[in-house]
Structure 1
Amino acid sequence: MDRKTIGAKGESVAARYLIEKGYKIIERNWGSKWGEIDLIAASGVIPEVYVFVEVKTKVGEDFGTPEEMINRRKLAQIQKMASAYDSAKNKPKRLDVVAVVLDYTLKPTRVDHYENVYF
């Protein structure tokens, strides 16, 4: 299993989770000169909020959790990309993190959604 396969699986799990919670996925893997945002979603509540989602995925937790892979630099980078994405639309926005743990057959064993972690 390579990192790209694991990451794509985690993003699919996170997208499905968010859809089940009432979010609408607007973009997947949106890129700018500063990098890539895994998921961009609409909150599904009024007023609608753009939710910029960083997905962290690990197979098992023997060597740490997905949450431990998040750092301030990456969050600041996503904030910059979110501002670029939203510059013309000017909607309320927030940054969420979805942590996904997969078993060794790539089935999800844990999905945790952390709302409004940075901005």
Structure 2
Amino acid sequence: MRIKQKQIKQTALTNNCPECFSNEGLLLTFYQKHIENAWYKMATSQITDRIKCQNCNTDIYPVRWTDDIERVREFYLKSIETPAHYFKLTRLAVITLLSIVVVGITVYVLLNNVI
């Protein structure tokens, strides 16, 4: 099973970085969780975010957020359109289900002499 975080929105912030105190270079990125395996592909409604300073190349974790950063993050979180979530079966799953149906019908016909 593979879990991917696909980027849905990225925004530059003008807030001061809590690490290097630069007022340019903060990047807020929102991600949607996608799950893929041999049987299905699914996009969940779970949204995560990440704030990174491009100047000092540091991830800014919620513990270090200032009130201003938190307010701006909440604003952008509300402005994101709800991403579409879906569930799709893969070809392997469809072929397997069809094979099971064909075998079941065949066994039913042979046991009950329907024809």
* Range into which the TM-score falls when normalised by the shorter chain: 0.3 to 0.5
Larger radius of gyration between Structure 1 and Structure 2: 2
What TM-score results when the alignment is normalised by the length of structure 1?
Answer: 0.33
